[in-house]
């Protein structure tokens, strides 16, 4: 899990669940004493925040196990502090023609560019990923 400076998601999600009468408990992976695949599958689903967890292979493990995986449908995570952004690495040394790709991946401060590239990520395009746009939608899906 990478440090994202937005909010305490576990506390927020558990509070929303409790206050609305949902029988759901959200946990962080780091709090699980048993991190085996079998134990993960004993849970109802996984909530994955792109670019938050350094070990993104966990995302692929979840979907390959057919573990219901929920991902927020937003490109905002490309802006996370200490995530995959311009402070960490040069995005690419190849600049394709603008006719081929209208936005450069290096345009970190261009919202349209971030949205364009978000639509090409595995988080967005893989059919087994359950995308949600709001907390009410997530809770309805769960």
Q: Which helix (H) or strand (E) holds 89?
A: none
Query: According to the model, what pLDDT value does residue 124 have?
Result: 87
Which of the pair, 6 or 109, is modelled with greater confidence? 109
CB atoms within 10 A of CB 101: 14
The first and second tokens of residue 116, run together, are 């364009």
Q: Is the pLDDT score of 3 beyond 60?
A: no
Please, what is the end-to-end C-alpha distance for the chain in angstroms?
22
Sheet holding 129-132, edge to edge: 46-47, 69-72, 129-132
Q: Is the pLDDT score of 103 beyond 90?
A: no
Burial of 112 (0-12, 13-18, 19+ CB in 10 A): exposed
- pLDDT tens-digit series, residues 15-41: 999 999 999 999 988 888 888 889 989
Q: Is the pLDDT score of 91 beyond 90?
A: no
pTM of the model: 0.77
Which of the pair, 55 or 23, is modelled with greater confidence? 23
Mean pLDDT, the chain, whole residue set: 80
């Amino acid at each position: 899990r990478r440090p994202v400076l937005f909010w305490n998601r576990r506390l927020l999600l558990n509070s929303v669940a409790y206050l609305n009468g949902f029988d759901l408990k959200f946990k962080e992976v780091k709090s699980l004493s048993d991190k085996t695949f079998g134990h993960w599958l004993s849970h109802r689903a996984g909530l994955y925040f792109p670019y938050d967890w350094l070990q993104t292979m966990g995302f692929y493990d979840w979907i390959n196990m057919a573990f219901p995986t929920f991902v927020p449908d937003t490109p905002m995570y490309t802006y996370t502090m200490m995530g995959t952004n311009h402070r960490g690495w040069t995005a690419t040394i190849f600049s394709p023609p603008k006719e081929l790709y209208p936005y450069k991946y290096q345009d970190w401060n261009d919202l349209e560019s971030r949205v364009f590239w978000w639509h090409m990520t595995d988080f967005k395009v893989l059919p087994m990923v359950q995308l949600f746009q709001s907390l009410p939608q997530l809770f309805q899906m769960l």
